[in-house]
Amino acid sequence: MSSLASAVRFAVAASALTLAACSHAPVDAAASNAIEGRVTAIDTLPWAYDGSGVLTVDAGTRSVRVSLPARWNLCKGRGLDTAGDLKVGDRVRVVGRAGDDGTVDACSDADYSIQKL
């Protein structure tokens, strides 16, 4: 009986430690998803049929695709209204959230943005 009680106490203590290790301050999503780099491609053709264009940015170690919604005026993010003025070779800073497909959303939150540097 004593070894069973010890095993139960150990399991409870281990669970408590595991839960304590998981509790931490929330991560600022906007700050953790900022990239800077050069624009290597801009595809706005999908705007013709109300689709999202794509801004491709060379971030040094990787190439990042940024979604450019056709209805940028409905976006909460800043700077999307000037995305059409960007050219290949421009240096930009993008703050957003990467989706499941790896494309960055810079539209759905007021803390997100696209900024020409």
CA distance 59 to 78: 20
Residue 94 pLDDT > 90: yes
Looking at every residue in the chain, the average pLDDT score rounds to 75
**Residue 2, pLDDT score:** 54
Structure tokens at 3: 């070894």
Residue 98 pLDDT > 60: yes
Q: In degrees rounded to 5, what are phi and psi of residue 115?
A: -135, 130
Q: Give every strand in the sheet of 91-95, ordered side by side.
A: 97-98, 104-105, 63-68, 53-58, 34-43, 91-95, 113-116
pLDDT > 70 fraction of the chain, expressed in percent and rounded: 73
**Residue 3, pLDDT score:** 54
Q: In degrees rounded to 5, what are phi and psi of residue 57?
A: -120, 130
pTM of model > 0.75? no
99 or 116, which is more confident? 116
Structural domains of the chain in order of their starting residue, each with its CATH number:
29-116 (2.40.50.1010)
**Residue 91, pLDDT score:** 96
- SS3 call for 91: strand
- Give kind and range of the element (H or E) at residue 98: strand 97-98
